[in-house]
Amino acid sequence: MISRWPIRIRLTVAFGVLMALVLSGIGVVTVRQARDAADESVTDGPSRALIEAMITDLRGELLLAFPLIWILATAGAFLLATAALRPVERMRARAAQLRPDDPDPYLPIPDSDDEIARLGTTFNDLLARLHDALDRERRFVADAGHELRTPLSLLTTELELALRAPRGNTELIATVRAALDDTNRLSRLAQDLLLLARSSDDDSFLTGDTHQLHPLLAAITDRYPDPIGLDCPPRLSVRVDPDRFERAIGNLIDNALDYGLPPIHLTAAQHDSMVTITVRDHGPGFPPEFLPHALDRFTRADAARTRGGNGLGLSIVAAIAARHHGRVHAANHPDGGAVVTVELPAVADLAIDGDTVGGKRR
């Protein structure tokens, strides 16, 4: 029952009970000390009678004064509790007014350095993160709709043209192939969106097995007909999910081949407790204005979107790296070309046969 009372009422009641006990104790001790002093110093009857009358008057005065003191002190405690909790009430009232589209989704913080101010600051930090996350999700949905609309429109147009008039086998095959290309683009986009959505919803980390890094990278570079330079020390090891790792490094190589110029070089090294895997091309590099947003979803170095891709490649790499306790950096090399580096935690060296496995690979 008491737990349902407002905090200021509970504080006031607690203070009132404590104050009543203190005043009662003071009264009892005062009267007792007065009586003990009289017993020690007064022996004749008239003087004792006078002292008893004074003690009786003192008791009456205490009985009159203490309730007044208790009432004033309890009222002061109520006012003090109300004033102390007023910032909390303001924050509660503001929180009740917040809406998902509120441009200023923050609580009023009292101009003090106490627990209430720190609590309000913590809540504002949380609200800022939630607001940013909601804003990112809105942009994600809007961009996803834009990316899906283009291939769907092309696919619809191609199919309508195919049905509009009789066509020869050559034209019909060309139209079907174009529709198939659009369908494949939609399928890749859907897979990318699903991967990113799962990464956003699941904050847990991937727990892969420990793998020698060189065989993993060699298997990836061997898939490409274009020569990919590989420089990886033989004893580097990482704990990764092979499929996700292959997806991340493959995305970086695909980007280098699609938007950069050869030679493409893949380099791995260990720096302190981190293994760095770098993909570099020798093309024009990233536009400077693109670099701060390189890992954002649906961002492209080609702002005009005249080239392929959906702007999800680097964000997928960043999501996969984050799930492995790693991070990604995008930059331009001083000598030209784009450089993207994946950092992953290193694990203990694994014993392997042979002295050298690294070097240049195709």
pLDDT tens by residue, 153-172: 777 877 777 777 666 677 77
| Residue labelled with tokens 């008239």 | 46
Asked if residue 210 lies in contact with residue 237, where contact means CB atoms within 8 angstroms, the answer is yes
Question: Among 64-78, 141-155, 213-227, 331-345, which stretch is predicted with the lowest mean pLDDT?
Answer: 141-155
Residues forming a β-bridge with 238: 211, 346
Task: Tell me what pLDDT residue 353 has.
Answer: 42
**Using alpha carbons only, what angle is made at residue 189 by residues 188 and 190, rounded to the nearest 5 degrees?**
90
Domains of the chain: 2-97 (no CATH), 134-201 (1.10.287.130), 209-345 (3.30.565.10)
pLDDT at 44 over 80: no
pLDDT at 304 over 50: no
Question: Among 74-83, 273-282, 345-354, which stretch is predicted with the lowest mean pLDDT?
Answer: 345-354
Grade residue 2 by pLDDT with cuts at 50, 70 and 90.
low
When the pLDDT of each residue in the chain is averaged and rounded to a whole number, the result is: 79
Amino acid making up residue 266: L
Grade residue 42 by pLDDT with cuts at 50, 70 and 90.
low
Find out whether the peptide bond into 263 is cis, omega within 30 degrees of 0. Answer: yes
pLDDT at 201 over 90: no
State phi, psi for 165 to the nearest 5 degrees.
-150, 155
Task: Tell me what pLDDT residue 333 has.
Answer: 93
Asked if residue 108 lies in contact with residue 90, where contact means CB atoms within 8 angstroms, the answer is yes
Tokens of 140: 């994600």
- pLDDT higher for 154 or 106? 106
Question: Among 28-37, 224-233, 261-270, which stretch is predicted with the lowest mean pLDDT?
Answer: 28-37
pLDDT at 5 over 80: no
Asked if residue 253 lies in contact with residue 228, where contact means CB atoms within 8 angstroms, the answer is yes
Residues forming a β-bridge with 269: 276
Residue 136 makes CB contacts below 8 A (sequence gap 6+) with 297
pLDDT at 188 over 80: no
Amino acid making up residue 9: I
Return the sign of the alpha-carbon dihedral for residues 296, 285, 249, 312.
Answer: positive
Asked if residue 288 lies in contact with residue 277, where contact means CB atoms within 8 angstroms, the answer is no
